[in-house]
Chain A
Amino acid sequence: MKRYVCINDDESSHDLYCDNRISNRKYTLLNFLPKNLWEQFSRFMNQYFLLIACLQLWPLITPVNPASTWGPLIFIFAVSATKEAWDDYNRYLSDKKANEKEVWVVRQGIRKLVQAQDVHVGNIVWIRENDEVPCDLVLIGTSDPQGVCYIETAALDGETDLKTRVIPSACVGIDYELLHKIKGVIECPSADKDIRRFDGNVRLFPPFLDNDVCPLTIKNTILQSCYLRNTEWACGVAVYTGNETKLGMSRGIPEPKLTAMDAMIDKLTGAIFVFQIVVVIVLGIAGNVWKDTEARKQWYVEYPKEGPWFELLVIPLRFELLCSIMIPISIKVSLDLVKSLYAKFIDWDNQMIDQESGTPAHATNTAISEDLGQVEYILTDKTGTLTENKMIFRRCCINGVFYGNESGDALKDVELLDAVSSGSPDVIRFLTVMAICNTVIPIRSKSGDILYKAQSQDEDALVRAAARLHMIFVNKNANILEIKFNASTIQYEVLETLEFTSDRKRMSVVVKDCQNGKIFLLTKGADESILPHACAGQQTRAVIEAVEHYAQLGLRTLCLAWRELREDEYREWSLLFKEASSTLVDREWRIADVCQRLEHDLEILGVTAIEDRLQDGVPETIETLRKAGINFWMLTGDKQNTAIQIALSCNFISPEPKGQLLSIDGKTKDEVRTSLERVLLTMRITVSEPKDVAFVVDGWALEIALTYYRKAFTELAILSRTAICCRVTPSQKAQLVELLRSCDYRILAIGDGGNDVRMIQQADIGVGISGREGLQAARAADYSIGKFRFLKRLILVHGRYSYNRTAFLSQYSFYKSLLICFIQIFFSFISGVSGTSLFNSVSLMAYNVFYTSIPVLVSVLDKDLSEETVMQHPQILFYCQAGRLLNPSTFAGWFGRSLFHAIVVFVISIHAYAYEKSEMEEVSMVALSGCIWLQAFVVTLETNSITILQYIAIWGNLVAFYVINWIFSALPSSGMYTIMFRLCRQPSYWTTVFLIVGAGMGPILALKYFRYTYRPSKINILQQAERMGGPILSIGSIEPQARSLEKDVSPLSITQPKNRNPVFEPLLSDSPNTRRSFGSGTPFDFFQSQSRLSLSYTRNCKNN
């Protein structure tokens, strides 16, 4: 689909495309009620409760007052509807603010101030400095004579650096005044959500230019929600408006995530539902039989001889209503409540505040905290997640001379400083490339300092380092770069920029020295993309050695190179380049091809080495989490070697002989298959050994494996605890998440940059690091944390507690509902199977909503083990991962307990209150008191740590039970007038209650004690150890280190430059076909080069 935009045409496109009204709202005033109700009723539980509530309106069958269901139901609905309405109202307010913002738009040839929502496709929009862009525009003019402007795209992709945008060549030189009258057609694709791509054409109508088609790229656009910076004004043609902008298309409310626990609770609810149906059918049949055989003889019941046609249904429906309390109506509300409290605990946690930036952890998604405790796989990004993403220039090798090897910091290396001051030409050229071969924009702040706005952290590091070495990049004025070197100013004119792409893995600039008019090509890039293009005679050995050496230290390396161009050579090439730039088909590939023609015979100047330090606590965190049984996969856009180095240094994989690293590679299907099969075979053999086997795969092989050998790869994924995937694209990351999810694993994806967003959204749990790459990942994620190391606490403390608490709370909710329901069922056997409710409506409602909900809600404070113990013994997380605390068998335990307690309560109350005492209201209150007392003891017994709040809630609740019932007993109009006073005066009431407690709790306590002492779970052992004081340390020492990683791989700090080849070499012994393959012009060239020397250019790779 194509879209044709008529520039500055007031009529034509109004109806064709939507106006610029942004709407994120889900509801309108009119459709709120029906739509919200519809959404709520699409949930099975709500449908069920509504059905029950409706049935209760039929007085013939209802055993209790309809209010006992309607009340809670309406309450639940009101709560969630209010929440939705509030959220939507806030969205409406922010939309309104955006829509009513005033912007300058050309109307009938005159610039007018209109509201943003009235902008139409084709309008010319004027933006001033620091204005927000109201819709997607194609630039046609800026205040800059060269047609450049700067924008900040933080709201779009989270990157805080400035980006340059230029007007298309067709619009260059149009006069300011004439911009109002410009006419033409823009041809562009229909709106999509790719914010990095815009392939269009513009054609201006005379008198501006002849009918020449001029290509448009994303460089010529400014997108909605960006800000114009450092540019006085810019104007552009609206091409996408309203919700059809690139931002608008990528918006959308993500699917709500369902935790494994919710799924399990739903499953159990389903089982209870089936059980309920069975009970209803059995009792219904029994009731009808009893009615026909017995009840008709009982004259005092006066059963009519002939009933209505639905007579057979009446008794089953009554039982359905009687049993409807089996599924606790309050469970959803209670769960929502405690879940938001879990989220609050995460927000409040002082130990997860990043001290450097002061950012606390934040739970955006409040509903999935339990899943954190059940994580089985963690898929992590590397740069910025494991590392700090703070690039520091550490070493360099210029023309075979190593600088910075002794001190670990080249900037302090006296030799280098000497070389700079003495003006060694090699060094100066090296510094020049460092300073100007980039897309950095220097900005002079008011105080006179120069700030650099760089898209890539590597470039930033290089420019800063150059500045420290007296090669200061001072100013960039359109195409003129100004460099200050030792008090002299040098000017260069940038002729062309050969941009970085992930395929080329290098970038170049063509500059002209303004003093002598010489033209140079300056290049920097990954070694494997530079070395093949070195000039024939040059000795590359030194460079290769340097690269290898730095790689061993885990440094990111770049090769710098240059070449002087002849004037005619440049002219010739520049024509080709222009032509390639304006092609519509395969533009990227064509440009790459043309660029390659220039980038040859390079003179290699040297190698830079940049350090990206590991974040604090990363190795410990990974070790702890791996002990906890979580499998780690590292997905990175980085080179294989850098990835392996980082992996080694952060305990990700173990060096030989404890660990083994298998490699899957190959560029064709067959190669990948053989390699995959071999790895799989090794995996199968070693799976029983306590060996740490990991595999490493690159993006190309991964693509083939996922496409053709999905099954084998899935098996491999299941077998392998660790994997490193390098050179993967964002969509491959998402695919891997999808693959693991399809194997029914709980996936946590953690990342920090825009390229991780898809992975984060795809995973069960997405965690974003609010780091230096902006907030894009953090915004898309369910949880955002400041540093990787907080992941440990997030999972082991918050996730685990949340899981345990919800497990208790949900099962307890079922237990108490089943308890009261079983009593009702038993009672029906002695009430002629007629569906009489033993309990009155008030008691039933209060039982569910009040008596039993409050004590259990404070179980959110329960801690089975202290945080320290969990951190010391992370293996205990296994109980959560395997769902040990909430599964059909634990549920069966609770089911049995409720059955047992129901029998105890029922049998004792009807026998103790037999004959002359058998008054309906009294028996009902005795049974209810028995239930409440048992609840209090059950909660106490199941609580592991009792805080003051729990004391208050549990025993206060018991007191409240009596107070409430005394109040009801004081009302003459209520059915239970005087009952509770009467009972409390009877000694037999108290003896009965104590008997119920003794008989009900005795076996439970005995069983629990027996299990706890003689069949203890690991949790019990740790509890005992923790609470008995002493032995906790001895346990720690006894415990076999399941996967203790030898720490002989030092962190990445460059203190002892020793060659680690012996450690590192055998890791790849399984991949004999690693080889260096240079050249070959396919776009996927880089995928094949498994070179051990190849090093990183990671930061830029992230752009793909």
Chain B
Amino acid sequence: MEMERASTSAAPVRPREVPIEGKSNVFHQFKQQQLPACKPILTPAWVITTYLFMGAFFIPVGLVTVRSSRSVVELVDRYDIKCVPDAFKSDKLRYIKDSSIPKNCSLFLKVYKHMKAPIYIYYQLDNYYQNHRRYVKNRNDQQLLHGLKYNDSSSCKPEQSSNGLPVVPCGLIAWSLFNDTYKFIRGRSELKVNRKNIAWKSDRDHKFGKHVYPFNFQNGTLIGGGRLDPSIPLSDQEDLIVWMRTAALPSFRKLYGRIEEDLDADDVIVVKLMNNYNTYSFGGKKKLVLSTSSWLGGKNDFIGAAYIVVGSVCLLVAIVFILLHIKCSRPYGEMHLSWNKKAISS
């Protein structure tokens, strides 16, 4: 905007000039509503330049972003249907609920492009509402950090106790812990999956207690998700920590581990998985995701595309304004001012 300095000195001579020096002068100007102000004005030159500049900024950034997003190699495989044996296709619920049926399952992933380590392994759940109001608050942060000392876990209802004893960790989130497991085999050898440091360090250090051990967990009549090893403190139960960072969207990915060696194009990865987690009752989807990462994170074309769209629209707007300005340019301020009320009100 064109900044024009309209200072007090431009105003006509005050009837009474109050001689005030130094600091109080500003206060005096404030009291008289005469503080020097810059009065921006939307001139065509300024506005068109802004839009051109915005276009010039947004389009390259968008291109860079898209490029980096495209550089990410991502393998996604939905397995929740595939892994149900044919005999149970019509009644998936019985399959998942009957613990006597073996849940193991194999997937074959073909790497279409060279993947550079580290390769992140995510599991993706769709149509899973971790942000549901009943769910998202169903935890007790004090208990997670300090253990059984904090027993008042009314926020954990209905999973705050079982068999008359309190549950650690309590609440629906912990109770519904995701418990599918994956093993990756390339050729003959099993790929080493690093399952350490998948949770935020701050969570491990300050949110989950080092001396808090699972207690009375999944002992109730209703079994939710995974179980926890009662001998490992919560701060080391990284799967739980990851799971308890609730997702804001009904479709989310959570980190399972990292493969710390490169995968070559046309490698075939065999995934041996245990399909334990029940998404069948509510029609959720389970996917396995292998992905490399860029400076912007995983594969996400949205930002880049949006940048390009916004940038091009800005350019377009700039062009439209230029044309408008040429076609019906109007000298500023020289418009005929007619003050009859009809003209104003129409």
Question: Taking beta carbons and an 8 Å cutoff, which residues of A are in contact with B?
Answer: 63, 294-295, 297-304, 318, 344-345, 348-351, 353, 355, 627, 629, 801, 827, 830-832, 834-836, 838, 861, 863, 866-868, 873, 875, 878-879, 882, 908, 910-920, 922-924, 944-950, 972, 975, 977-978, 982, 986-988, 991-992, 994-995, 998-999, 1002, 1005-1006, 1008-1009, 1012-1014, 1016, 1018, 1021-1032, 1034-1035, 1038-1040, 1042
Contacts and interface: CB of A to CB of B under 8 A. Distances in A.
Contact of A836 (B132, B300, B314, B332): B132
Interface residues of B, number: 99
B253 A915 contact: yes
B6 A1028 contact: no
The 9 closest A-B pairs by CB, nearest first: A1025-B333, A300-B176, A945-B37, A834-B133, A923-B248, A1031-B333, A348-B31, A831-B131, A875-B339
A368 to B, nearest CB: 19
Given A1002-B313, A1021-B333, 7 more contacts: A861-B35, A947-B35, A995-B307, A1012-B42, A1018-B337, A1040-B339, A1042-B339
B133 A913 contact: no
B298 A916 contact: yes
A991 B334 contact: no
Interface in B153-188: 158-159, 172, 175-176
Contacts of B249: 830, 910, 914, 918, 923
A1025 B41 CA distance: 10
A1021 B129 contact: no
Nearest to B41: A1027
Contacts of B120: 916
Given A923-B248, A991-B61, A302 B172 contact: yes
Interface string B184-199: 0000000000000000
A910 B249 CA distance: 8
Given A991-B61, A1021-B333, A1025-B333, A944 B129 contact: no
The A contact surface, by secondary structure, is helix
A1027 B39 contact: yes
Interface stretch (B77-85, B110-118, B200-208, B262-270): B200-208
Interface string B39-56: 111101001001100100
Interface stretch (B9-17, B101-109, B230-238): B9-17
Nearest to A1034: B334
B322 interface: no
Contacts of A998: 54, 58, 310, 314
Contacts of A911: 300, 302-303, 306
B303 A995 contact: yes
B60 interface: no
Contact of A832 (B50, B65, B131): B131
Contact of B339 (A908, A920, A987, A1039): A1039
Nearest to A971: B206
B317 interface: yes
B100 interface: no
Contacts of A861: 30, 33, 35, 37
9 contacts: A300-B135, A875-B344, A912-B300, A916-B255, A1002-B51, A1002-B314, A1005-B50, A1032-B333, A1039-B337
A832 B334 contact: no
B284 to A, nearest CB: 8
A868 B12 CA distance: 8
B251 A915 contact: yes
B94 interface: no
B134 interface: yes
Contacts of B202: 972, 977-978
Contacts of A975: 141
Contacts of A912: 300, 302-303
Contacts of A1038: 336-337
B248 A298 contact: no
A988 B16 contact: no
Contact of B282 (A297, A873, A977, A995): A297
A922 to B, nearest CB: 8
Given A918-B248, A948-B35, A1025-B332, A991 B132 contact: no
Contact of B134 (A834, A917, A1005): A834
A834 B40 contact: no
Contacts of A348: 31-32
B339 A835 contact: no
Which of A297, A303, A836, A866 has the most chain B CB atoms closer than 10 A to its own CB?
A836
